[in-house]
Amino acid sequence: MAARYTEAVLAALGVLSVCSASSSSGSGASGKAGGEAEWAEPWDGAVFRPPAALGAVGMTRGLGSPPPGNAETVDLPVLLWWSPGLFPHFPGDSERIECALGACVASRDRRARADPRTRALLFYGTDFRAADAPLPRLAHQSWALLHEESPLNNFLLSHGPGIRLFNLTATFSRHSDYPLPLQWLPGAAYLRRPAPPLRERAEWRRRGYAPLLYLQSHCDVPSDRDRYVRELMRYIPVDSYGKCLQNREPPTVRLQDTATATTEDPELMAFLSRYKFHLAMENAICNDYMTEKLWRPMHLGAVPVYRGSPSVRDWMPNNHSVILIDDFESPQKLAEFIDFLDKNDEEYMKYLAYKQPGGITNQFLLDNLEHREWGVNDPMLPNYLNGFECFVCDHELARLDAEKAHESSPRDIPVLEPHIAQLSHMDCPVPTPGFGKVEEIPENDRVSLCSPGSPGDQASLELIEIRLPLPPHC
Ligand SMILES: *[C@@H]1O[C@H](CO)[C@@H](O)[C@H](O)[C@H]1NC(C)=O
Ligand SMILES: *[C@@H]1O[C@H](CO)[C@@H](O)[C@H](O)[C@H]1NC(C)=O
């Protein structure tokens, strides 16, 4: 009844004829136009069905008039990328993808949102805004989240109610459905690259270089790293070239460009490898969140002085390859240890033993590198965007099969349990000061520690009935 009502209303508005007219296949939209009433989306304007959006990629089968009551009519599931900035296909708005269990259609045409074949919506975490969420949520659709970044980019997702909006995740966490903890590590060979001779570094030290490098231009971040580095600088020389705590000029104009700082630019790499120790501090503290800040110094044969993922030990090539800041009771103690290694080549070189043949003894790391199906800058392997897309496709194909199986024998085959993301997929404890106690930090200096904070964010969250707790110190 609702269906007929919708059809009548849409016909009255002229929507059905608009859809028919815009259908490139000419098959018209009326065959299935009597969808559920709640699928008409206010923000999609008058457009009800998206034949033009999906017709061009072998999707026409279902768009004609299927034989009434023919349950065998097979349509490819549609995966709709909801975040406007991200669609890993070119050119066009839709593409058929072939995955392990079968094919799907990936689309970025939001008009496909109401289509019964649209089985999954894909979101890019950094762009996810409650105010833009496609509500009401349709029961037959999974929400899939790709968020390889830390909560700096979107704090909402590191709260239980935020992450549990999603069914499938690809995050930095090993616990996510499609884990990306090694997203910044191209492979074991990247770690094995030989280190430059120590005498080269000794020469740079003689010319006035500090033992430690700091290169950071994003200063106000949840890990509050500058507060620690400022204290550390009291006890050991640190050369800081980025905008945060800068005390030296990069040697060339090109290297002053912060855009160069996250690349593998050869001039930058050569410059960075002059340093024996690199301060490697992530912008937020989350289990399994590790970036190029950690892997790049290892590639260059420097020792990372690291603060970031609390579980970082699990991923290290051996158990003597990084200096973990949190192993030291104070910046002063850490400085003393770095100074000791700086003056003692034999002890220093032990930190680079993983570069020797057989030196990578962490089987967990090796297994993860070997078994991941995506690559980092590897033309022979899919990137993780397309990899995750196929993961979602396969998940939806399996879910469709399970639904059909249940429909055909409801007594024997139970309904599929919901699959819902967990907080462990974005495991980031409440931010704490990078150095010292909360009480010692002036109120006006707590910005980075206190997101989620702004009333605007909170208002937009209420749309999806989420209220986030503020960290206790805010
Ligand atoms: C570190 O490595 C040494 C030598 O391989 C080994 O004996 C020791 O058990 C390891 N320690 C940890 C905590 O894994
Ligand atoms: C997807 O997640 C939502 C929200 O947590 C949940 O209500 C729904 O049952 C899940 N759907 C599936 C297909 O698992």
405 alpha carbon – ligand 1 mean position (Å): 50
Residue 17 to residue 46: CA distance in whole angstroms: 11
How many angstroms separate the CA atoms of 63 and 290, rounded? Answer: 45
Distance 291 CA to ligand 2 centre (A): 31
* Ligand number with the minimum distance to the CA of 422: 2
> In whole angstroms, how large is the CA radius of gyration of the chain?
27
| Residue of 181, 151, 188 lying closest to 359 (CA atoms) | 188
Please provide residue 160's backbone torsions phi and psi, each rounded to the nearest 5 degrees: -45, -55
Q: How far is CA 43 from CA 114, 210, 245, 369, 466, in A?
A: 11, 57, 46, 43, 21
pLDDT number for residue 132: 84
Amino acid, single-letter form, for residue 208: G
Sheet of strand 94-99, all strands in order from the earlier edge strand to the far edge: 94-99, 102-107, 78-81, 118-124, 142-147, 168-171
Phi/psi of residue 118, each to 5°?
-75, 105
pLDDT of residue 277: 98
Which amino acid belongs to residue 431? Answer: P
With tokens 């090993």, the residue in question is 174
Token pair in block for residue 33: 């136009």
pLDDT at 177 (0 to 100)? 98
Q: Residue 364 Cα, ligand 1 centroid: separation in angstroms?
A: 14
Q: Where are the beta strands (DSSP E) in 6-162?
A: 78-81, 94-99, 102-107, 118-124, 142-147
DSSP secondary structure letters along 428-470: -PPP--SSS-GGGS-GGG-HHHH-S--HHHHHHHHTTT--PPP
Are 18 and 49 in contact, with CB atoms under 8 Å apart?
Answer: no
**Ligand 2 atom with least separation from CA of 141:** 13
CB 142 near ligand 2, within 6 Å: yes
Ligand 2 centre and the CA of 142: distance in Å?
Answer: 7
Phi, psi of 304 (to 5 degrees): -70, 135
Per-residue confidence (pLDDT) for residue 230, from 0 to 100: 96
C-alpha–C-alpha distance, residues 140 and 36, integer Å = 12
Alpha helices in 273-383 (DSSP H): 292-299, 331-342, 345-350, 363-371
The residues facing 307 across adjacent strands are 281
Residue 340 burial (C-beta neighbours within 10 Å; 0-12, 13-18, 19+)? exposed
pLDDT at position 21, please?
A: 28
pLDDT (0 to 100) of residue 458:
64
What's the confidence (pLDDT) of residue 220? 84
Q: Is 169 in the pocket of ligand 2 (CB under 6 A)?
A: no
Euclidean distance between CA atoms 352 and 336, whole angstroms: 20
Residue-wise pLDDT tens for the chain (474 aa)?
333 333 332 233 222 222 222 333 333 333 222 222 222 222 222 222 222 233 333 333 333 333 333 333 358 999 999 998 899 998 889 999 999 999 999 999 999 999 999 999 999 998 888 888 898 899 999 999 999 988 888 888 888 888 999 999 999 999 999 999 999 999 999 999 999 999 999 999 999 999 999 999 888 888 999 999 999 999 999 999 999 999 999 888 888 876 766 678 889 999 999 999 999 999 999 999 999 999 999 999 999 999 999 999 999 999 999 999 999 999 999 999 999 999 999 999 999 999 999 999 999 999 999 999 999 888 888 899 999 999 999 999 999 999 999 999 999 999 999 999 999 999 998 888 999 988 888 877 876 677 654 445 666 677 677 777 777 777
The count of residues in the chain is 474
Question: How far apart are alpha carbons 138 and 125 in whole angstroms?
Answer: 20
Q: Specify the ligand 2 atom closest to the Cα of 418.
A: 14
Among protein residues, the one with the nearest Cα to ligand 2's atom 8 is 418
251: CA distance to ligand 2 center in Å?
A: 54
CB-ligand 2 contact for 141 (6 Å cutoff): no
Q: Using most ligand atoms within 8 A of CB, pick from 166, 420, 464, 466 the residue to mutate for ligand 2.
A: 420
Taking the centre of ligand 1 as the mean of its atom positions, its distance from the CA of residue 128, in whole angstroms, is: 42
Q: How far is the C-alpha of 293 from the C-alpha of 273, rounded, in Å?
A: 13
Axis-axis angle for helices 331-342, 225-232 (nearest 10): 60
User: What pLDDT was estimated at residue 4?
Assistant: 34
Q: How many CB atoms lie within 10 A of CB 21?
A: 13
Q: For residue 286, give both structure tokens.
A: 């989350």
164 CB within 6 A, ligand 2: yes
Angle at the Cα of 213 from the Cα atoms of 351 and 352, rounded to 5 degrees:
15
Q: Is the CB of 313 under 6 A from ligand 2?
A: no
In our burial notation (b when 16+ CB lie closer than 10 A, e otherwise), range 65-97 reads: ebeeeeeeeebbbbbbbbbeebbbbeeebbbeb
Residues 6+ apart with CB under 8 A from 68: none
Q: What pLDDT was estimated at residue 139?
A: 93
By C-alpha distance, which of 124, 39, 52 is closest to 94? 52
Q: Check pocket membership of 419 for ligand 2, CB cut-off 6 A.
A: yes
